[in-house]
Amino acid sequence: MRVFAEIGATPAGGVNRQALSDGDRAARRLLCDLALARGFGVFQDRMANLFVRREGRNPSRPPVLIGSHLDSQPTGGQFDGALGTLSAFEVLESIEDLAIETDGPIEVVAWTNEEGSRFAPGVMGSMAFAGAADPAAWQSLTGADGASFADELAATLAALPEATMRPFGTPVAAYLELHIEQGPSLEKENIPIGVVTGVQGTRWLLVTLSGQAGHAGTTSLAYRRDPMVAAAAALHQLQEAIMPADPQARLTVGRMMTYPGSINAIPDSVVFSIDIRHPDPDRLDSIEAEVRRVCEEQAASQQCSCAVVRTFDMPSATFSPVVVETIEMAARSLSLASKRMVSGAFHDALFLARVAPSAMIFVPCRDGLSHNEAEYVAPEHILSGARVMLETTIALARRPA
C-alpha cells in the first residue's frame, strides 16, 4: 500500500493519480512487475483494464475475478480503489504461497477510470467490459485538464507491452470487490466487515445557464441578464428542498465554471455539474425532473436560457445472494462481525453484476472520510478485509462450474 501511495502522493498525504495519467501508468507498471515476478499472466483489453491471472487446474473455466481500481480523485485518498486492487493481489499471492489448487483460474483486475473526475463518466473500464457502453463514443473526450482521452488511453496501453491483449467480455465465474466503506456506519457501529448487497443509482447532469456578458461596473440591475444570479438561486432552492425532505437523497454540485471567467465581467454562461443519487429509480427520476424545473424557472427569471444534459446514468444494482452469503460465511468462519449494507458510492462491481454473480466487501474508514486526502483505514481493518476476501475467493473458486 505504502509504495503505491507514493505514486502521485500529494503534500497533504493523499494521492493524485487520475485515470490514464503518468501516475496511473506508473501504478499499473508496478502491479504488472509484481505480477510478472510471481509468474502470473498479465493481460489488458482495449480500455486498458489490467488483468493478472493465476491458472487453475482447468484453464478453460472462467476465472473468479477480484479487484477494484488504481485511479484516484484529484485530491484523493490512499485507499479508495487501491485497497481493493492490492488486497486482491495479496490474496492471489497468498493462494500461490499456500500452493492452493483451484479448479478454475483466479484473476486480479484493475479497472480503468473508475473515478470519472478527469474523463467523465466514471466506471468506464467495467462498463465497456460488461458491454454496457461502446468505448468508441469516448474517443473524442477531452479531460478536465485538457488532455485527449484517445491519446492518454493509447499511451497507457503502449506502456505495458508485456500484457497480452484480450477482448472485452471474457466470461467471469464470479466477481468480488473489496473497498473502503466511504461512509461512517461500520466505524460507528464497530463492525469490521460490510457485506454489500447492492449499489444505489447515480445520475450526473451538466447544467448550462446562459445570459449576456456585460460590464460589471456600468450595467445596472435592469440591464443585467446574469446567469450567476439564476445559478445561485437554483442551487439554494434545490439544496433547501431535496435532501432535507428525503434522507436517502443525495445532491452534490462539485464543479462550476463561469465564462468568460473575468472578475469584472457579468458571465455569459455558468456551467455546473450535479451528482444525484438514490436507491429508488423513480425518486431519481423525480429529483432530476425537479432539478430541470428549478433551473429553468430561475433562468427564466433572469431572462437567461437553460440547458440540462444527462452525462451519466447508472441504475442501481442488486448483488448476487450466493456471493453475499459466501462473504458472510467467510466472515463468520473468521469470527468477524459483519452487516449487510447498500453502497452509496458507485463501483465497478455495479457493471460486473450484469455479467457475473458479484458482491462487495466493505471495511471501515476513519470518520467515514473518502474523496479526501485524509482518508485512512486502520491496519487491523485492512487485514480483516483481506482475510475475508481470501476465504471468499477460495470458496468461489471451488464452487462447481
Binding site for Mn ion (CB under 5 A): 80-81
Contact 365, 79 (CB under 8 A): yes
Considering only 92, 306, 345, 353, the residue that binds ligand GLV (CB under 6 A) is 345
Interface pattern 108-147 for ligand GLV (x via CB under 6 A): -------x------x-------------------------
Comparison of 287 and 395: residue with beta carbon closer to ligand GLV: 287
| Residue 122 C-beta: closest distance to ligand GLV, Å | 6
Spatial distance between the Cα atoms of 53 and 215, rounded to a whole number of angstroms: 62
- CA dihedral over 13, 19, 21, 27, signed as positive or negative: positive
When CB distances to ligand GLV are compared, the closest residue is 345
SS3 57: coil
50 contributes a contact to ligand GLV by CB under 6 A: no
Cell representation of residue 124: 468506464
| Residue 121 C-beta: closest distance to Mn ion, Å | 13
| Residue 278 C-beta: closest distance to ligand GLV, Å | 13
Comparison of 126 and 258: residue with beta carbon closer to Mn ion: 126
Comparison of 102 and 202: residue with beta carbon closer to ligand GLV: 202
Q: Which long-range contacts (CB under 8 A, 24 or more apart) does 31-37 make?
A: 31/70, 31/85, 31/89, 31/110, 32/160, 32/162, 32/163, 34/89, 35/89, 35/108, 36/162
Spatial distance between the Cα atoms of 11 and 21, rounded to a whole number of angstroms: 18
Comparison of 186 and 230: residue with beta carbon closer to Mn ion: 186
- CA separation (Å) from 218 to 179, 228, 264, 270? 54, 17, 10, 21
Interface pattern 86-115 for ligand GLV (x via CB under 6 A): -----------------------------x
Considering only 111, 346, 351, 362, the residue that binds ligand GLV (CB under 6 A) is 346
Spatial distance between the Cα atoms of 72 and 13, rounded to a whole number of angstroms: 13
Q: Which does 251 bind (CB under 5 to 8 A by kind): Mn ion, ligand GLV, none?
A: none
Spatial distance between the Cα atoms of 42 and 49, rounded to a whole number of angstroms: 11
Question: Distance from first CA to last CA of the chain, Å, rounded?
Answer: 34
| Residue 233 C-beta: closest distance to ligand GLV, Å | 27
Which residues of this chain interact with ligand GLV, rule CB under 6 A? 115, 122, 345-346
